[in-house]
């Protein structure tokens, strides 16, 4: 069994919790409040900047030039996504990036950059993979079930689209290739990193739904 297949099976309950989270149910119906979506899009803008940094750090540790270029392409793609998708909603709602990271965003980005910097190359790839993969699956699920004339159709189309699909497949293939040469201890640590990032994906949506603030 490939690493990706085993890892995905291990997060089945987490993924189901993401699909059934009120944020994604209401986004699917088009009833998600503007306040919650605007909170989300601002936090996502902050998240993607650090996600791109984590990808670039991981790229610097790649064992071959082909993988280095691929990860740098992923990093560039994350920045492009921010500019295009986020610019659309920032312009549409007349928003500015006037916030700092909420606890959910801070925790997730800190985890990714820490893994990219301090853990093994294998672990860093496993930690980064859920952001690609879960978003694709959620995007496709919402696309199939979305209410017509959904106000969040631009977001839905982005993450259910062919271009993003191709990026995700490359990320899965890269992680599987690296996992093939990993020993059992490394595979276990990769699994733990994948699991934690998947949990933090849920946390990110939950943070947006509850308009999370720092306490105290």
pLDDT at residue 102 in the model: 98
Let me know: does 28 contact 143? Beta carbons within 8 Å.
no
pLDDT digits (tens, 9 = 90+) for 101-129: 999 999 999 999 999 999 999 999 999 99
pLDDT at residue 38 in the model: 98
Distance, in Å, from the CA atom of 73 to the CA atom of 79, rounded to the nearest integer, reads 10
Sign of the C-alpha dihedral computed for residues 200, 205, 208 and 209 taken in this order: negative
How many angstroms separate the Cα of 15 from the Cα of each of 11, 69, 82, 117?
6, 30, 24, 27
Name the token pair of 63: 């064992």
- Kindly report whether the peptide bond that precedes residue 216 is cis, defined as omega within 30 degrees of 0: yes
pLDDT at residue 99 in the model: 98
Residue appearing with tokens 């989270």: 21
Query: 3-class DSSP state for residue 150?
Result: coil
Let me know: does 105 contact 204? Beta carbons within 8 Å.
yes
Query: 3-class DSSP state for residue 32?
Result: coil
Closest of 144, 148, 143, 171 to residue 159, by C-alpha: 143
pLDDT digits (tens, 9 = 90+) for 42-62: 999 999 999 999 999 999 999
Pick the CATH number of 3-209 from 3.90.1570.10, 1.20.910.10, 1.20.272.10, 2.60.40.1890: 1.20.910.10
Residue appearing with tokens 């290739």: 177
pLDDT at residue 80 in the model: 75
Let me know: does 152 contact 27? Beta carbons within 8 Å.
yes
pLDDT at residue 96 in the model: 96
pLDDT at residue 83 in the model: 75
Closest of 195, 212, 81 to residue 127, by C-alpha: 195
pLDDT at residue 160 in the model: 93
pLDDT at residue 84 in the model: 87
Domain spans, the chain: 3-209
Instruction: State pTM to two decimals.
Output: 0.96
pLDDT beneath 70, residues of the chain: 82
């Amino acid at each position: 069994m490939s690493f990706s297949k085993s890892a995905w099976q291990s997060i089945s309950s987490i993924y189901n919790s993401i699909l059934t989270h009120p944020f994604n149910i209401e986004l699917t119906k088009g009833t998600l409040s503007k306040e919650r979506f605007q909170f989300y899009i601002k936090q996502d803008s902050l998240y993607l900047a650090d996600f791109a940094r984590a990808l670039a750090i991981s790229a610097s540790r790649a064992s071959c030039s082909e993988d280095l270029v691929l990860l740098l392409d992923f990093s560039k793609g994350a920045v492009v996504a921010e500019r295009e998708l986020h610019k659309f909603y920032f312009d549409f709602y007349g928003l500015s990036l006037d916030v700092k990271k909420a606890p959910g965003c801070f925790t997730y980005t800190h985890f990714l950059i820490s893994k990219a910097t301090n853990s093994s190359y294998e672990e860093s790839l496993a930690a980064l993979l859920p952001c690609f993969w879960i978003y694709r699956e959620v995007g496709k699920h919402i696309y199939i079930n979305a209410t017509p004339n959904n106000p969040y159709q631009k977001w839905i189309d982005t993450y259910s689209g062919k271009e993003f699909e191709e990026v995700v497949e490359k990320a899965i293939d890269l992680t599987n290739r690296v996992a093939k040469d990993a020993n059992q201890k490394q595979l276990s640590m990769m699994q733990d990193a994948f699991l934690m990032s998947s949990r933090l994906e849920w946390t990110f949506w939950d943070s947006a739904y509850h308009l999370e603030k720092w306490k105290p």
